[in-house]
Amino acid sequence: MQRLGAARWVAIAGIAVLVAAVAVLVWAALQHANPESTNGEAQPVPTFTLGAEAPAPTPTPTEAPVSLEQTRFLAIGSEVWWRATAGSCTGPAPVVERSYDEGETWTDVTPAYLGIAQVQTLEAFSARDAELVAAMAGCEPQALRTYTRGEFWDSYPDVLAASRYIDPRDAGSVHLPSGPVPAPCPEAFGLHAFGDIVALVCDGRAWSWSGDEWVALAPERVLAVAIDDGDVLVAHRADDCNGVAVSRVAAATPDSASIIGCAESTDPASPAAIAAIGDDVIVWSGESLSSIATTGR
């Protein structure tokens, strides 16, 4: 009996020691999770990971690319201004508009009666007249011209043969009078051509055709291109511009761009189109038109 009593006391003592140890561990954990503040204010509860890596930082959202059907075109004659949205052979219809008052008001002159499905290029070839390359029924390209300020449009096969444009059935192919050439990416858009210069947008960059290959132009994050006085005008996003920035790139120095200015009232997240008139560049973005003086010349 004495031995049994002694064993019982030893067991009780062991249990007491174990309980005390657990209490100490619990107290230490609480102290670690809720440290005393030196200024009497509650401190945030720390977080812990057990054998796991710290979570990766949230990535910065990427800028949405311009879709082919959202592509915009802007062409300026001395008397009539023109603009268009591209549309798609399998999606929304294009819209072609004309303005007599420098963009204050616009009139829809889309040649819907001809079955136009997608606009590929838009140019003002005289003070009041315009031409465009467009996909018609079956996404077949045609060159259309108007000599009636957009009231009527007619097809001109000879103009189509001499035109430079992106194939509406394959955005990775560019039609040149000498024959088709691959674009620098599978979804090129916004092609402009004048004289010997052909420029377009691919994968967020502006590119020009050298006669043998496509050459990437500065800068990056490009929205649209235009041609002015032998140079390529590039509309792009820029960290120091709260809107659409415009730069000038000479074909001879494709890696160097001179900033023209920033259209502060425009939305750099929206599709855009640009065109030069005199000493200004007109930027069409969102619902607004903005003017930038070409100080970068």
Q: What is the pLDDT of residues 203-223, one digit of tens each?
A: 999 999 999 999 999 999 999
Sign of the torsion angle spanned by Cα atoms 251, 226, 200, 60: positive
pLDDT value for 65:
65
Residue 243 lies in a domain: yes
Least confident of 32-41, 161-170, 267-276: 32-41
Instruction: Give the model confidence (pLDDT) of 118-169 as tens digits.
Output: 999 999 999 999 999 999 999 999 999 999 999 999 999 999 999 999 999 9
- Full-model pTM: 0.78
**For residue 187, is it left (φ>0), alpha (ψ between -120 and 50) or beta?**
beta
Give the pLDDT score at 249.
97
Q: How many domains does the chain have?
A: 1
In sequence order, which residues have a C-beta less than 8 Å from that of residue 282 and are 6 or more positions away?
74, 76, 103, 274, 275, 276, 289, 290, 291
Establish if 19 belongs to a structural domain: no
CATH number at residue 79: 2.120.10.30
106 in any annotated domain = yes
Q: Is residue 29 part of a domain?
A: no
Asked if 287 contacts 270 with a C-beta cutoff of 8 angstroms, the reply is: no
Q: Do the domain assignments include residue 3?
A: no
In this structure, is residue 142 part of a structural domain? yes
- Looking at 24-33, 46-55, 166-175, 284-293, which range is the least confident one? 46-55
Structural domain boundaries enclosing 187: 68-293
CA–CA dist 71, 271 (Å, integer): 6
Picking from 176, 180, 146, 139, the residue whose alpha carbon sits closest to that of residue 161 is 176
Does the pLDDT of residue 17 top 70, yes or no?
no
Higher pLDDT, 10 or 259: 259
108 in a structural domain: yes
